[in-house]
Amino acid sequence: MTEAVTIPMEHGLLLAGILFLIGLLGVLVRRNIILILMSLEIMLNACGLAFIVVGAHWGIADGQVMFMLILAIAAAEVSVGLGLLLQVYRRIGTLDIDAASRMRG
Amino acid sequence: MTDFIFLIPLMPLVGFTILFCTLGNLPKPWVAFVGVGSIGTSALIVALLGVEFLSTKDHAPILVHLYTWMNLGGFQPGFSFYVDGLTLTMMFVITGVGLLIHIYSSLFMQDDEDYSRFFSYMNLFVAAMLVLVLADNLLLLFLGWEGVGLCSYLLVGFWYQDPANGVAARKAFIVTRIGDTFMALGLFLLYMHLGTLDIQAMVDKAALTWVTGDTTVTLACLLLVGGAVGKSAQLPLQTWLPDAMAGPTPVSALIHAATMVTAGVYLIARTHELFLLSPVALNVVAIIGATTLLMAAFTALTQSDIKRILAYSTISQIGYMFLALGVGAWASGIFHLMTHAFFKALLFLAAGAVIYSLHHEHNIFKMGGLRARLPVAFWSFLIGSAALAALPFTSGFYSKDAILLSAWQSGPLGPGLWAAGLLGALLTAVYSFRLVFIVFFGEVKTVPDKPAGWLMAGPLVILCGLSLVGGWFIIPVSQVFPAAADVSHDGLIPIITPAIPILGVVLAWLIFLRRSVDVSGLTESTWGKALTHFWFSHWKMDWLYDHLFVKPYSFITYLNRRDIVDWFYNALAEVLWFVHDIAATSQTGQLRTYAVVMLFGVVTLIGIFIGVRLT
């Protein structure tokens, strides 16, 4: 077996952090609900990446277990999120999240 | 028959339940069958019970314990019925007269849409009234007492579509409730001192606890009198009865003449052993009776509504009963209660027949010459008025004569009470025959075109008979009441007493029929007019109460229209609203605001966490 090329943990965490911020920024600035959902997915995957990286660094399986959990949660979140999205569209007639502000005040 | 005593109040209650639960969906003949049949069964049981009771030598009271109502720390009022001569007399009146009135109503109310509702209320009334007289303890008596009050309210406001009837019903209910409050306080006081409300045990204990004239027993008796004057429409709570005439005429006959309004008399007679301990309370009862009978008699003299005349006459006659109780002539009072039930029910039913034939005409000055057209009503009225005026050999004569003679011999107040009663008797004769002469004699003003059927005529004829011969009945109360002092028949008194009513009839004949005595000069004078108006408005009692209680109360409610107590709670709510408005500004409805705030919060928390770990 050849020596595996190891990626330094710092690089992995940095990538995860950058992905998380990109996702967060997407959630904050986007108005289209679909894009907000996609941004959320990016954030979730950034978390998953962080778990994998840390798990690999410490050589334990917990990180991968957590990633599987996050995958499951993400799937559930998307299905619920898409359902909500459809309802929002049906009631408001647009996918603009700023239009769904009836609960203010 | 002892085993069947519980059926006496139960049968009308069953009738009420059937009629009430079918919501008026039964055909009218069935309703009449249930409504009249239930009372008929009760009357039959009472009759059989009466025969059995009277055939015993000693007339021993019968006590039937059905079950214990409640058991609270030694306080054990039961559903127990106590039957003695007094109860039996009352039951005889309630079921007997009640049955006749129910038969009469089955035709009188024929055209009414709420036929079934009428009979259900009437049956409930009879049930409650029977519980009232059968009760062996004051709490059960109070249950019946309130039950009849409820039925009175329901039946006065029977034609509720007219708001005026609703006002009359509420007035009747509220005014009697004032009396009932006094009575409830009286019951509390008696229970506090005697530890029981069982009437027989109570009076035995009272005789041991108090000496004659004790303040506590006087107070308790006066509170009971408070309840009695409310229910029996005596001074100062009599104002509700004339307005209660808003109900159907059979209701006036049954509830507001024959039975319910005499409940106060029954209460005082039932607890007479307590009253014997308190001469003050007895004098109060006698004075209330004498005053009320005079006031109501003067008022009856000026009224023009046929039913209101009879209502004031009822108040006046109950005044005689109170007078009798007050002077210790218990048996005479109860005797007058019975004869009054006969002739007043007769008068009301006859008035009902007149009103029925004239399509709800109440004003006596629009009637006239009805003698030939309505012979049954005419003879009923004549006999009823004769008994009411206490003409010799009618039933009213025997009872009223006994009361007046007892009043004469009752200590220092006696002659005064006797004179008041005698003046009342004169007025009674005048106003009752004024009614007869105006309605049935003279020129014909309205032609009746709706003859009353035999279902109405039958009860009238029977009541005519009872009004005539009722004076010879001997009510079995000798074991209940202490023997009355022998009424001496010396001097002019026994001659004057029966002569006065005859004088009254002659007077009425001269004024209202022959018109040989012209009183218009007297009534048209300034003073005469003022006095007539004063009497017509029943001594301005309604006006007085209106200004004394209703107006001040309305003024206070007007002052408090924003409810001072609510100020504090409203202010509390205002503060909460203010805080709410501030907090609500953070709720923008913008998803990204929430996300930023969340981010900020999470960063802050992590920052704090790290900061804590580092230090």
CB-based burial label for A12 (10 Å; 0-12, 13-18, 19+) = middle
Q: How far apart are CA B528 and CA B174, in angstroms?
A: 34
**Which residues have CB under 8 Å from A48's CB, separation 6+?**
A66, A67, A70, A71
**Which residues have CB under 8 Å from B319's CB, separation 6+?**
B234, B288, B289, B290, B291, B292, B293, B294, B296, B424
- A29: chain B residues, CB-CB within 8 Å: 592
A101: nearest CA partner in chain B: B589
pLDDT in tens, A41-65: 999 999 999 999 999 898 899 999 9
- A97: chain B residues, CB-CB within 8 Å: 591-592
- What is the model's pLDDT at position B166? 92
- What is the model's pLDDT at position B359? 80
- What is the model's pLDDT at position B100? 94
Q: Is the Cα torsion angle B424, B428, B430, B435 positive or negative in sign?
A: positive
Of B150, B71, B171, the residue nearest B546 (C-alpha): B171
Instruction: Calculate how close chain A gets to B566, using CA atoms only, in Å.
Output: 28
Going along B403-529, which residue ranges are E strands?
none
Beta carbons of B410 and B324 less than 8 angstroms apart: no
Residue A104 in contact with partner chain B when CB distance is under 8 A: yes
Contact B592 A105 (CB under 8 A): no
Q: How far apart are CA B410 and CA B417, in angstroms?
A: 9
Query: How many helical (H) and strand (E) elements, i.e. helices and strands, does chain B have?
Result: 26, 2
Straight-line distance from the first to the last Cα atom of chain A, in angstroms, rounded to the nearest whole number: 65
Which among B585, B588, B592 has CB closest to A28?
Answer: B592
**What is the dihedral angle through the alpha carbons of B303, B105, B248, B38, rounded to the nearest 10 degrees?**
120
Secondary structure of B349-390 as H, E, C letters: HHHHHHHHHCCCCCEHHHCCCCCCCCHHHHHHHHHHHHHHCC
- Residue burial B181-211, b: 16+ Cβ < 10 Å; e: rest: ebbbbbbebbbebbebbbbeebbebbeeebe
- What is the model's pLDDT at position B564? 86
Longest dimension (CA), chain B: 124
- With residues binned 3-state (H G I as helix, E B as strand, rest as coil), the percentages for chain A, rounded to 5, are 75, 0, 20
Place of tokens 């008797």: B425
B592: nearest CA partner in chain A: A28
Residue A95 in contact with partner chain B when CB distance is under 8 A: no
- B78: enclosing H helix or E strand: strand B78-83
Q: How far apart are CA B296 and CA A101, in angstroms?
A: 76
Longest dimension (CA), chain A: 65
pLDDT above 50 for A1: no
Instruction: Tell me which residues of chain A, numbers 26 to 55, contact chain B at a CB-CB cutoff of 8 Å.
Output: 27-29, 36
Instruction: Calculate how close chain B gets to A28, using CA atoms only, in Å.
Output: 5
Residue A100 in contact with partner chain B when CB distance is under 8 A: yes
Q: How far apart are CA A23 and CA A39, in angstroms?
A: 4
Instruction: Calculate how close chain A gets to B125, using CA atoms only, in Å.
Output: 60
- A100: chain B residues, CB-CB within 8 Å: 589, 591
Contact B584 A105 (CB under 8 A): yes
Beta carbons of B81 and B64 less than 8 angstroms apart: yes
**Which residues have CB under 8 Å from B34's CB, separation 6+?**
B15, B18, B19, B26, B119
Contact B596 A28 (CB under 8 A): yes
- B592: chain A residues, CB-CB within 8 Å: 27-29, 97
Which among A27, A28, A104 has CB closest to B589?
Answer: A104
**Cα dist from B490 to B324, B408, B409, B423, B496, whole Å:** 20, 12, 12, 21, 12
A27: nearest CA partner in chain B: B592
- A96: chain B residues, CB-CB within 8 Å: none
Specify which residues B78 forms β-bridges with. B68
**Which residues have CB under 8 Å from A7's CB, separation 6+?**
none
Interface size A-B, in CB pairs within 8 Å, comes to: 29
Residue A102 in contact with partner chain B when CB distance is under 8 A: yes
B585: nearest CA partner in chain A: A105
- B585: chain A residues, CB-CB within 8 Å: 105
Contact B589 A105 (CB under 8 A): yes
Q: What does residue B436 show for φ and ψ, rounded to 5 degrees?
A: -60, -45
**Cα dist from B363 to A65, B161, B508, whole Å:** 100, 22, 19
- What is the model's pLDDT at position B488? 63
- A102: chain B residues, CB-CB within 8 Å: 589
- B595: chain A residues, CB-CB within 8 Å: 27-28
- A24: chain B residues, CB-CB within 8 Å: 599
Start-end of H helices in B210-329: 215-231, 240-243, 249-253, 263-270, 272-276, 279-302, 306-326
- ipTM value, please give it: 0.84
Instruction: Calculate how close chain B gets to A95, using CA atoms only, in Å.
Output: 13
Residue A88 in contact with partner chain B when CB distance is under 8 A: no
Cα B316–Cα B320–Cα B322 angle in degrees, nearest 5 = 110
List per-block mean pLDDT (blocks of 10 residues) for chain B, which spans 615 residues.
Answer: 87 94 89 93 93 85 88 84 91 93 90 90 95 92 94 93 92 92 94 88 88 89 93 89 91 91 93 90 93 92 90 93 91 92 93 86 84 86 92 87 85 86 92 90 77 82 90 82 68 79 88 77 80 84 89 91 88 94 86 89 95 89
